[in-house]
Structure 1
Amino acid sequence: MVLTGADIFAEVLVEQGVETLFGYPGGAVLNLYDALYKYSGKIRHIMTAHEQGAAHAADGYARATGKTGVVLATSGPGATNLVTGIATAYMDSIPMVAITGNVGTSLIGRDSFQEVYIAGITMPITKHNFVVRKVDELADILRDAFRIAQTGRKGPVLVDIPKDVTGATAEFTPVKPQIPVYKTELDGQELARAAQVIGNARRPVIYFGGGVAASEAGEELYALAKKAEIPATYTMMAAGVLSYGDPLNLGLLGMHGCRTTNRAVNEADLVLAIGTRFSDRVALNTEKFAKNAAILQIDIDPSEVNKNVEVDYSLVGDVKQILQALLPLVKDAKHTEWMTQIQAWQAQDYRPKDDKYCIRPHQLIGKMCELAGPDALYVTDVGQHQMWATQYIRHVKPRSFLTSGGLGTMGFGYGAAIGAKLAVGESRPVIHITGDGSFHMNLNEACTAVSYELPVITVIFNNTVLGMVRQWQTAFYGKRYSSTDPHRKTNYVKLAEGFGAKGYHCETLDAFSAAFAEALKSKGPVWIECVIDKDEKVLPMIPAGGSIEDMIMD
């Protein structure tokens, strides 16, 4: 059948199983939006306040579901407003297809109105970029974009479509979509050697990251840890893969990980690095990281092997497939002496003190978890509140803690929470945890949550300063607080009401408990401002480039 490029665009989205699309209209994409009007019964379009919010929403949708998030923006500033959101998805290996309109092909390269070379701008932060030049190429290019986003190491793909291509016509043949399958080439000898290395270890530790969540390999990872009795630690991107309170769950590793976790890696004789990339927030000093251990790395991306830390053994491929093949080869084991030592260290770990006269972050998060229940999905912005959330949320499920890890994007949270809420619907509460600094970056997305009646609960940790930067200024810059106190007078209750949301102001834990309980019953968005002391610190802390010997405990 003969269709316009715009109708081909809509048909391929339906073909690829896209049910929700985030975006913002403009001149270069008017044909696409006209097609979305006709296909509104099959594709739900969510219009955000800003294109960056749309990109973060598509990202949050993808993180919550494992599906490919889709975002649409017009040419010029619409396209450039996606850049931060695309980069956020790229750094955390999140599958996303970003579709941008552009000026007509005859106007490209002439500095036309709202023209920008978005493919060139985003080339370093996407898995692949396409610029469509002919309408008869559009369908296959869009299909390739979805395939690339989900195949191998996941990530964002950009498709730039000039306006005349969306108006031209071509023959369209529907295709039954095929789920991308990444097949790992398994080497029996390498697997056997890895199993032997694991079997010979006396002080093993599993260190895993977001690749385990992306591969849906949580069950296999836990089966390995259980079978060989190997304690496990995780990066921020993998929170929830192992359940809170499990004896084998050591907790967070790295700059703000607990002392036991960092000490266990320091004293281990084997580190199994699974689906993780040895970032500088974990392997802060690559010369000293796991200095007593052999390292076995499992990762889907061969470029990650030996990139940041030299490893002794490696298995390249999909984590789930490798663990499934490795498990039968690994012998049952007990490491009683090692586990006893770890338990002794845990008894001496840093524990913040409770206070009934003010709101302490750990108590606030504990109360939040208690009231929200185990099915809650948490989304954070970036800063101190993010690290407190990582440390103290009682993580029990994968894809239940969404945060910007690699890029550290302030303003990520509200858009991502909106995307996550649209993904999970009424089945789960979605809690957006933010700081006053991060929240000011994209709080305009409140109008989106109100318009679509999304009961996202936003908890604002308001210490009136840029807390994480101020913490560094306290520790390393002689308390010279340069530009970390913005002196804002924002009244969050009135602002929430101005948007059409509910707002609460809390200065005690009891006040928060009451407000949060009410928020859980709300049919629309709620903001809860919690007053936090500006001198609250995220502890423990290892300075950048340091090791466990440099850990700051108070």
Structure 2
Amino acid sequence: MKIGADLIIDTLYKQGVTEVFGYPGGTIMPVYDALFRSYERNVPIKHYLCRHEQGAGFAAVGFARSTGKTGVCIATSGPGATNLITALADAKLDSVPVVAITGQVPRPLMGTNAFQELDVFGLSLASCKHSFQVMDQSELEDTINQAFRIANEGRPGPVLIDIPKDVQMNNVIKQIAVNLPEPQAAATAQDQFETAKSLILNAKKPMFYIGGGVDMAAVSKHLNALLSHTQLPAVTTLKGIGAISSTYPHFMGMLGMHGNGAANLAVQECDLLIALGARFDDRVTGKLSSFAAKAKVLHIDVDNSELNKLRQVELAITCGLETALPAIEHQFSLLDAKDKQQWQGWRDECAQLKQQHQWDYNCPAQGIYAPALLNELSNIMPSSTVITCDVGQHQMWVAQHMKFDDCKNHLSSGGAGTMGFGLPVAIGAKVARPNDQVIAVCGDGSIMMNIQELGTIKRFNLGVKILLVDNAKLGMVKQWQELFFDHRLSETDLSDNPDFVQLASAFNIPGKTISKPSEVSQALKDFIEFDGAYILHVKIDAQDNVWPLVPPGAANQDMIDNQPTSDIVG
């Protein structure tokens, strides 16, 4: 006869889980005891002890995003569970399949303000796709199975399972199914795809707008085939980077607040916007009423709630892209040369914009120029390298200046914009893909938020590389203060940060600091070739900002592009 905790481990293993991330505590101890005994019971699940529950949650996110599998994290009740919430909220906004298991005080103590009792079920409702609280051990197995199904079906997202301690410890005599309604797939008529094809063929300036949903549906191959057949220009969101081959000649880059100038201007000129797995986020659209104002919109997404939510469209198709894209790609595989030729003028117009808005890697100052550094790293790193990003100026520079051919190799916090994201996500990615290079590109502000995870890297001998871009500032906040708050630099100075290389050495992680352009090439070569964890600490000029920038409330064509701040503030 099994106790509930053993059944939890057994069910996870049946779901294909072999790695979990977590931190033990009082009300989750029975599960940790079951983990301890899992190998002798022939259900081997390896637990990675992170040094903070938020780190465990983000490691699960990194595991999921770098593989497409479901990440699993575990925490105790009270503060253990609340520390997971930020990572779960990030996963929800970026549609990442994660299952979080939290302990809860025993059922007789619930509602008494017992030690470390908090209503994590209630707290999780806004940050999870779905939440369960298991009040009978007979429901454990089916609840866990349901959680994995919900986390992955339709638009993916995190699911939390809160389990009282006595439920974990009680014998499981029988198992009861949890009756949740099965999702009903929306019927997609073939004539909708015919209408979509007609819209594209009748457009003079069609443009593909690609979001992260393409990768979630695992249809990048069909997308690139469709682009090959049509030779139409395309842009991506931050999460869509990697869905389009970096060698595709009509790829315009990322659009939005810090998008490529050519991408933003081309979208404003198009007469048909084909949105695939994207959600018209405000950081993409700028002033919504002015976004692609000349265009009709064809929007295909698995989540019906995103259709016509922000932008009224001419054709909305509620459909998984795994169904829609192969169907559309097949239709366009029959295009003849005459059909393709009708868009040549539009291609030429976009090519001219790309030429006019090429990135300039000439350093505007005497120090190391981060865009040039990241572009050089991109050119020398193995194509399978996973890059994880903290949030800030360096995040946008990565998106602008590094090339990716797989969304699973570019892991960046999109919807939540969570500082402290990069390091623990890199840990999860390295656990999932031990044979690939994994590099966390961090800022000197963001890295301090989860720097305790250097301990996890040390304990498990994980070869995570850290590229630390250090301007001794909260760079993005400082840039906005310069532009929009009349240079009042409030609480953005980080000049008293520790010596990061010395700090890393305390965790047996070697490293180097560079500050001169002449040091960059050799330092990057050593960084890539080093066998194991390594930190490359790069000092840059605090005056280097991210350009272009679409000011808040402005239309995308009204980008600021490296102008003196005195010309902008007013």
**TM-score normalised according to structure 1 size:** 0.96
Match of 2:466 among 435, 458, 462: 458
Residue in structure 2 matched with residue 226 of structure 1 by the alignment:
228
- Deviation at residue 305 of structure 1 after TM alignment: 0.6
Q: Distance in 2 between matches of 1:304 and 1:323?
A: 18
Q: How does 1:316-355 map to 2 (within 5 A)?
A: 316-330=318-332, 332=335, 333-334=339-340, 335-355=343-363
Contact map agreement 1:195 1:329 (CA 8 A) in 2: yes
The size of the alignment, in residue pairs, is 548
Cα distance change of structure 1 residues 207 and 499 upon mapping to structure 2, 3 Å threshold: same
Asked whether the equivalents of residues 139 and 175 of structure 2 are also in contact (C-alpha less than 8 Å), the reply is no
* 2:251 equivalent to 1:249: yes
Aligned to 2:280: 278
Q: Deviations over 1:222-254 (max 9, x none)?
A: 222222222110000011111223212110011
User: What does residue 50 of structure 1 align with?
Assistant: 52
Sort the Cα spacing of 1:278 and 1:181 in 2 relative to 1 into closer, same or farther, 3 A: same
1:162 Cα deviation (Å)? 0.3
Say if 2:405 is the partner of 1:406. no
Provide, for residues 422-481 of structure 1, a one-character-per-residue CA deviation record: whole Å limited to 9, x for no partner. Answer: 11112x100100110101111110010011111111011100001111111111111111
Q: Secondary structure at the match of 1:109?
A: coil
Cross-structure match for 2:10: 11
Are the equivalent residues in 2 in contact too, given 1:450–1:499 (CA < 8 A)? Answer: yes
Mapped pair 1:33 → 2:35: no
Conserved 8 A contact 1:184-1:321: no
SS at match of 1:287: helix
Residue 71 of structure 1 corresponds to which residue in structure 2?
A: 73
State the alpha-carbon separation in 1 of the partners of residues 192 and 81 from structure 2.
Answer: 45
| Length-normalised TM-score, structure 2 | 0.93
SS of 2:118's equivalent? Answer: coil
Q: Distance in 1 between the 2:350 and 2:135 partners? A: 60
Per-residue deviation, residues 295-320 of structure 1 (Å, max 9, x unmatched): 00000000001111111111111112
- Answer whether contact 1:183 1:318 (CA < 8 A) is retained: no
Say if 1:4 and 1:170, in contact at 8 Å, map to a contact too: yes
Q: Partners in 1 of 2:27 and 2:358 — Cα distance?
A: 55
Residue correspondence of structure 1 range 460-499 to structure 2 within 5 A: 460-499=468-507
Shift of 1:398: 2.9
Deviation for aligned residue 1:508: 2.2
1:145 deviation in Å? 0.4
* Residue deviations 1:337-381 (CA, integer Å, cap 9, x gap): 100111111111153342394210121112212332212110000
Matches within 5 A, 1:330-479: 330=332, 332=335, 333-334=339-340, 335-355=343-363, 357-426=366-435, 428-479=436-487
Deviations 1:375-431 (A, max 9, x none): 2110000000000000011112231000100000000110000000011112x1001
> In structure 1, how many angstroms separate the alpha carbons of the residues matched to 2:366 and 2:57?
40
Q: Which moved more, 1:360-369 or 1:416-425?
A: 360-369
The Cα shift of 1:172 comes to 6.2
Aligned residue in 2 for 1:291: 293
Counterparts of 1:353 and 1:154 in 2: how far apart (Å)?
38
Per the alignment, residue 551 of structure 2 pairs with: 543
CA contact (8 A) 1:184 1:322 kept: no
User: In 1, distance between residues paired with 2:32 and 2:530?
Assistant: 32
Report the alpha carbon displacement of residue 326 of structure 1 after superposing the two structures with TM: 2.2
> Structure 1 residues 182 and 236 mapped into 2: Cα distance closer, same or farther (>3 Å)?
farther
For the residues of structure 1 that align with 2:130 and 2:497, how far apart are their CA atoms?
A: 44
Aligned to 2:91: 89
Q: 2: CA distance between counterparts of 1:287 and 1:516?
A: 44
Instruction: Quickly say closer, same or farther: Cα 1:182–1:539, change in 2 above 3 A.
Output: farther
SS of the aligned residue for 1:378 comes to: strand
Point out the more displaced range, 395-404 or 45-54. Answer: 395-404
Deviations 1:124-157 (A, max 9, x none): 1111110000000111001100110000100000
Amino acid at match of 1:58: A
CA contact (8 A) 1:449 1:524 kept: no
Bigger drift between 32-41 and 457-466 goes to 32-41
Structure 2 residue identity aligned to 1:28 = T
Can you give the 5+ residue segments of structure 2 that lack an aligned partner in the other structure?
A: 563-570
Report the Cα distance in structure 1 between the residues aligned to 2:221 and 2:316, rounded to whole angstroms: 21
- Please tell me whether the aligned partners of residues 75 and 102 of structure 2 are also in contact (alpha carbons under 8 angstroms): yes
> Could you say which residue in structure 2 is the equivalent of 1:524?
532
Residues 1:131 and 2:133 aligned together: yes
| Pair 1:184–1:400, CA change in 2 (3 A) | farther
Q: Distance between the aligned counterparts of 1:187 and 1:143, measured in 2?
A: 31
- SS of residue in 1 equivalent to 2:172: strand
Identity %: 39
Measured in 2, the distance between the counterparts of 1:105 and 1:173 equals: 19
One-letter code of the match for 1:216?
A
| Cross-structure match for 2:22 | 23
Distance 2:66 2:173 in 1: 36
Q: Taking structure 1 as reference, are residues 173 and 123 closer, same or farther at Cα in structure 2, changes over 3 Å only? A: closer
Q: Distance in 1 between matches of 2:556 and 2:282?
A: 14
Structure 1 gaps of 5+ residues are none
Equivalent residues of 1:455, 1:522 under 8 A apart: no
- Contact 1:184/1:318 (8 A) holds in 2: no
Could you tell me which residue of structure 1 aligns to residue 515 of structure 2? 507
Q: 2:102 — aligned with what?
A: 100
Does the 8 A contact of 1:453 with 1:523 survive in 2? no
Residue 165 (str. 1) matches residue 174 (str. 2): no
Superposition deviation, residue 59 in structure 1: 0.2
Mapping of residues 108-127 of structure 1, within 5 Å? 108-127=110-129
Cα separation, 2, equivalents of 1:231 and 1:424:
33
Give RMSD over aligned pairs: 1.8
Deviation at 1:512, TM superposition (A): 3.6
Tell me the secondary structure at the aligned position of residue 374 of structure 1.
coil
Deviations 1:470-524 (A, max 9, x none): 1111111111111111332410111011122112111124434333333334443
| Aligned equivalents of 1:172, 1:238: Cα separation in 2 | 45
Distance 2:323 2:401 in 1: 31
C-alpha spacing 1:48/1:230, structure 2 compared with 1 (3 Å): same
Q: Is the 8 A contact 2:285 2:556 kept in 1?
A: no
Q: Distance in 1 between matches of 2:554 and 2:438?
A: 36
Q: Distance in 1 between matches of 2:499 and 2:257?
A: 34
